[in-house]
Amino acid sequence: PNAPKTVETALTKAYIPLGFDDNDRIQIAVAGSFKNTCYKVGPHALKVDAENKTITVQQQAYLYNGVCLQMFVPYSQIVDVGIIPTGDYRVVDALSGQTLAQLPVTMGSNPGPDDFTYAPVNDAYVFDDPDTNKHMLAISGSFGDRCSDFDKISVNVKNDVIIVQPVLRRISDVS
C-alpha cells in the first residue's frame, strides 16, 4: 500500500555534448521539473529510429503519497543511447512530442572509440575560487602507468554543455 505509483513525466531539455562519432558509446543528459516533492526520478525508456533520425525518450517518475511541498523540483538523468549510425538526430520527449535537442553523429575518423586517448577521470566538481571569484573545475583520477602525462586539457562550451577533454600523451622515457 505504500509503494509509489509510476507515472510518465515530460522532459523539458536535453544536454548534448558535441563530437560524437558512429563508433562512440553515446550518453546524453535529459532534464525536467516536477510540480511537487512527492515525485522522484524513475526509469526511462529509449527508442532510436535510425531511419527517421529520431531518439525518443520516455521519462517516468515515482509518485509517492503523503505530504508534498508545492514547489517545482528540477531533475536530470543520464541516458545511454549506445552506438548509432551517422546522421543528424532529433531528441524527442515521448509525452509532449517536443524536440529537446539535436544530436549530430559523424563518421569516425579511425576504428577506435575516440580521436585521442583521454585521462582516466574518477570525479569532477566545480567550486568557487575565493581569490579570483571565478568558478573552477577540478578533475581527479589516476594514471595506470608511468608512461602517460597530460598533453592538454581542452574546454569548450556549446549548447549549455561544458565539454572537458583531458588529452594524454605517451612518454617514452620516464626517469
52: Cβ–Cβ under 8 A, 6 or more apart, which residues? none
Task: Kindly give the confidence (pLDDT) of every residue in the chain, 175 residues in length, as a single tens digit, with 9 standing for 90 and above.
Answer: 789 999 999 999 999 998 899 999 999 999 999 999 999 999 999 999 999 999 999 999 999 999 999 999 999 999 999 999 999 999 999 999 999 999 999 998 887 777 788 888 889 889 999 999 999 988 888 888 888 888 888 888 888 898 888 998 888 755 5
pTM equals: 0.82
Give the Cα separation of 87 and 29 in Å (integer). Answer: 19
Answer whether 167's CB lies under 8 Å from 116's CB: yes
Answer whether 104's CB lies under 8 Å from 19's CB: no
Q: Strand 20-21 vs strand 99-106: parallel, antiparallel, or unpaired?
A: parallel
